[in-house]
Amino acid sequence: MKRKKSRNRKRKIKVKTKKIANSFKYAFQGLLASFKTERNMKIHILIMILVILMGVTLKINIIEWIISIILFGMVISAELFNTVIETVVDMIVQYKDPKAKLAKDISAGAVLVLAISSAIIGLIIFIPKLFTLING
């Protein structure tokens, strides 16, 4: 009896581990697909890399790094959600529909608001450091 329970537990652990591994695999496939197909995702990633390089160069502090990382995650996530909304709307609506356009436009607008507010926060973090660097 005990051996059966032990074997069943091992099988359950293997199945759960495999399911978790597949979840991560599919999530990374989604990120990669978004990067390959979405121009705006490429722009967001490029800006993120530039901000990281500036952060290293200007030696931003731990709180500024935390804020930056949270904003990176929010903007990238918003772009992913926008892509999902646009894809689903395109799948469902096969003709020009004002409500479909509205849904897609509002979704894109949400990303824009987040990107602009993130850029403003970035400026608040980096402008004083640039002035310090320039003025010595």
What is the set of active-site residues?
Answer: 79
- Chain-centroid distance, C-alpha 43: 12
**Cα–Cα distance for residue pair 96/90, rounded to 1 Å:** 10
Q: What is the DSSP string of 28-70?
A: HHHHHHHHHH-HHHHHHHHHHHHHHHHHHHHT--HHHHHHHHH
Residues 6+ apart with CB under 8 A from 133: 58
